[in-house]
Amino acid sequence: MQAHVLYGELLSPYRETREEIAPIVPEMQARAPSENADRSGRVRMRGRAINPVRVGIVGAGWWARQIHAPAFLAAGATIAGVCSRSAESAGALASTLGTRPLDFEQLLGEVDAIAISTPDDTHAGYAVAAARTGVHVFVEKPLGRNVEEAESILEATRAARVVGMTGLTARGDPNTDRARTLVADGSIGKVLYVRGSFDIDLFADPATPATWRVRREVAGPSGVIADLGAHLFDLAEYVTGLEIDEVTAKGGIHIQRDPAVTNLDEVAVLAGIGGASALFSAGRTHLGNSVLRLEVQGSKGALLLDWGVWEPGKGLLHASRPGRYEPVSVGAVAEGPYQYGRSQFTELARRFVKAVRDGSQPAPSIEDGVRVQRVIDAVWRSVEEGSTPVAVV
């Protein structure tokens, strides 16, 4: 089955079989880190043995099955249970992972942490409830449908002093950190302007059924702004070290479906970012290549980040001024079939598990998730107000 077909089925219905994920699980378990482990398989910290971090998987859709569960296994965690609003999906995934399907309250009593990959309207409820019981939380982006929901997660994790992390995929890629270093060390000089796009063919076919992602009551009114724009905005700020401070945006619903699409299919954004200009675009009805790209042009050079969604992209390229783009090597390429998100989430899961063990703060943090939600909300407000400039506050 082709990757883009699988991604479309992330939405609903979920038709992948247990056989499609089963080969991934032992591979991820084989890669799980064994440093500091004793013969019982437990990890030693400060001279004492503790059990592996117990993670509960909340959500049993494609992203949970193909990305979250394998990533946390690779990070050395134990999957202690699966929770889903679909008992059938939870049971199938739990069986594949060798664990149990549990309701949410039961799950909280069995785990140290949860990984949430559910529709956006449930993120805040799950995360806040978990934090209040002392359970650490890994939350998919966007944190919520608006900044108020995102802030409720931040407040809960701070009050409970639990580890919180936002699942912003590109942050787990070594190309991203290398690009940030190139900007920070002056390799491209002063940032002059930024260009970014995230276009995908997820709903390019008018016959593709409407799903929760296109319903404002579930995924929020901004649609593609939160779904794809979140990656762009966070990536631009992280790589440049600058903050988006003002946005002017226009977007629309371009292909109607049954039931009706009620949030945005596409958006174009003109932004100010730390005194420089930025142009961003995101679309989910895009014909052609499905690609996430960020380009930063500077006074001494430029850099380009390019990831394919279904096929490998160009990675990281750098150019001096004058000059042409040349590839930048950042290490070995991940083994196995290509899937954007798989290797990146393995790194994010490792950071999260480490933070749960040692009490450190992983990145991207919940604060980072709230920050990008502020940009999302400002962009949506600009669209709603007829492309009025809106400050990001």
pLDDT of residue 33: 41
Q: Where in the chain is the domain with CATH 3.40.50?
A: 3-118
43-45 and 315-320 beta bridge pairing: unpaired
Residue range 354-380: mean pLDDT, rounded: 97
pLDDT of residue 51: 72
Higher pLDDT: 334 or 279? It is 279
Q: Which pair of structure tokens corresponds to residue 278?
A: 């930025």
pLDDT higher than 60, residue 37 = no
Q: Where in the chain is the domain with CATH 3.30.360.10?
A: 171-346+370-391
Residue range 308-327: mean pLDDT, rounded: 96
Nearest CA-CA partner of 282 in 141, 376, 192, 143: 376
In CATH, the architecture of 171-346+370-391 is 2-Layer Sandwich (3.30)
Question: What are the tens digits of pLDDT across the range 73-106?
Answer: 999 999 999 999 999 999 999 999 999 999 999 9
Confidence of residue 332 (pLDDT cuts 50, 70, 90): low
Higher pLDDT: 49 or 1? It is 49
Cis peptide before 221 (omega within 30 of 0): no
Nearest CA-CA partner of 343 in 170, 196, 181, 178: 170
Lowest mean pLDDT among 98-102, 328-332, 374-378: 328-332
pLDDT higher than 60, residue 43 = no
Instruction: Judge contact between 342 and 66, C-beta under 8 A.
Output: yes
pLDDT of residue 338: 83
pLDDT of residue 305: 98
pLDDT of residue 337: 79
| CATH of span 3-118 | 3.40.50
pLDDT of residue 334: 66
The top-scoring range by mean pLDDT among 39-48, 230-239, 324-333 is: 230-239
Amino acid at 198: F
Residue range 39-47: mean pLDDT, rounded: 33
Residue with tokens 């996430």: 292
Measure the N-to-C terminal CA separation of the chain; round to a whole number of Å. Answer: 44
Lowest mean pLDDT among 76-80, 83-87, 330-334, 339-343: 330-334
Residue range 187-194: mean pLDDT, rounded: 98
Total-model pTM? 0.88
Share of the chain above pLDDT 70, in %: 86
Q: What is the layout of strands, in order, in the sheet containing 164-167? A: 78-83, 54-58, 113-116, 136-140, 164-167
Question: What are the tens digits of pLDDT across the range 255-305?
Answer: 999 999 999 999 999 999 999 999 999 999 999 999 999 999 999 999 999
Question: What are the tens digits of pLDDT across the range 58-68?
Answer: 999 999 999 99
pLDDT of residue 315: 96
Question: What are the tens digits of pLDDT across the range 117-162?
Answer: 999 999 999 999 999 999 999 999 999 999 999 999 999 999 999 9
